[in-house]
Amino acid sequence: MSSLFRGLPLRRIFLLGAAALVCVAALVAVATILSGDFGETEGKIFATLATTFAAGSTVLAGLACLGRGVSRPLGVIGVLLACAGFVLWSAQIWGEFDSDGYWKLLGVLTAWTLALLVTTTTRLMLSSPSLVRRLHPATAAAAAGAAATATVMLLREQGDGWQLFAILLILALLGEALAPILERYSAADDRASERVLGMVAGAEVVAVPGRDSRSVRIGAAVERLAEGEELVVRERR
């Protein structure tokens, strides 16, 4: 078993574990449905599965941001909030605490976790510099505004700001939905048709547009860089 994971980075091992956890959770859900006996315990199982999917999505998005080196502070905060939310929600589902303060904490934590999920997933879908500068901050601001409004309503136990919350939520989801669409049409405009990176032994190293951003063409051969690798061009000595 140790040889199976030897050489794999820690982040990839975690992702494989998360994928295995999701598969197990899905199998448990299917088995529960097929058993035909849906009671309180089964309801708690489904609630725990929903919590696992939400928290797992946020954790994976945060790790992806850390892996790509983009929005790292948001990635770290997202992972921490998702883990804390999973623990607290699981404790509530199975412990059934009767506390207004605990429910408020869960509500606030959930609001900000979902806001970070929207923000990080939107950033991961963008590579165009113009969209990263404009669409991502606007989407992040709308998501943060929605979470802040929800926090105020929960703490004050008043729903007066529901219209503002709904508008900001719609704008945040709109930004996330537009991200892949606009990225498809904007990325080509942001890239130059050809960019000379340097000269090595009389040969030009040129960057050209392509579908695979990790591929390297050397003559007629095409090599693909693995995750975490970078290209280094040096003169032979």
Q: Are residues 9 and 52 in the same domain?
A: yes
Q: How high is the pLDDT of residue 191?
A: 52
Q: Are residues 150 and 64 in the same domain?
A: yes
Q: Are residues 177 and 230 in the same domain?
A: no
Q: How many CB atoms lie under 10 A from the CB of residue 176?
A: 20
Q: How high is the pLDDT of residue 188?
A: 56
Q: How high is the pLDDT of residue 83?
A: 92
Q: Are residues 81 and 182 in the same domain?
A: yes
Classify residue 71 as left (phi > 0), alpha (psi -120 to 50) or beta.
left
DSSP state of 96: -
Q: Are residues 132 and 161 in the same domain?
A: yes
**pLDDT tens readout for residues 56-92:** 888 888 888 888 888 889 989 999 999 999 999 999 8
Dist CA 11 CA 63 (whole Å) = 7
Location of structure tokens 């591929």: 215
Q: How many CB atoms lie under 10 A from the CB of residue 107?
A: 15
Dist CA 35 CA 149 (whole Å) = 42
Q: Are residues 117 and 147 in the same domain?
A: yes
Proportion of the chain in helix, strand, coil states, percent, rounded to 5: 70, 10, 20
Q: Are residues 26 and 81 in the same domain?
A: yes
Give 161's contacts (C-beta < 8 A, 6+ positions apart). Answer: 149, 152, 153
DSSP state of 226: P
Q: Does pTM surpass 0.75?
A: no
Amino acid letter at 141? A
Q: How high is the pLDDT of residue 10?
A: 47
Q: Are residues 154 and 175 in the same domain?
A: yes
Q: How high is the pLDDT of residue 199?
A: 60
Burial class (CB in 10 A: 0-12, 13-18, 19+), 75: buried
Location of structure tokens 């725990």: 48
**Which tokens sit at 90?**
């699981």
Location of structure tokens 């165009």: 128
Are the beta carbons of 123 and 135 closer than 8 angstroms?
Answer: no
Q: How high is the pLDDT of residue 109?
A: 94
The DSSP annotation for 172-215 comes to HHHHHHHHHHHHHHHHHHHS-S-EEEEEETTEEEEE---S-TTE
Identify the segments of the chain with pLDDT beneath 70.
Answer: 1-19, 21-22, 36-39, 187-214, 217-223, 225-237
Domain that holds residue 204: 193-237
Q: Are residues 71 and 148 in the same domain?
A: yes
Q: How high is the pLDDT of residue 96?
A: 78
Q: In sequence order, what are the beta bridge partners of 221?
A: 218
Give me the number of domains the chain comprises.
2
Amino acid letter at 102? Y
Q: Are residues 165 and 235 in the same domain?
A: no
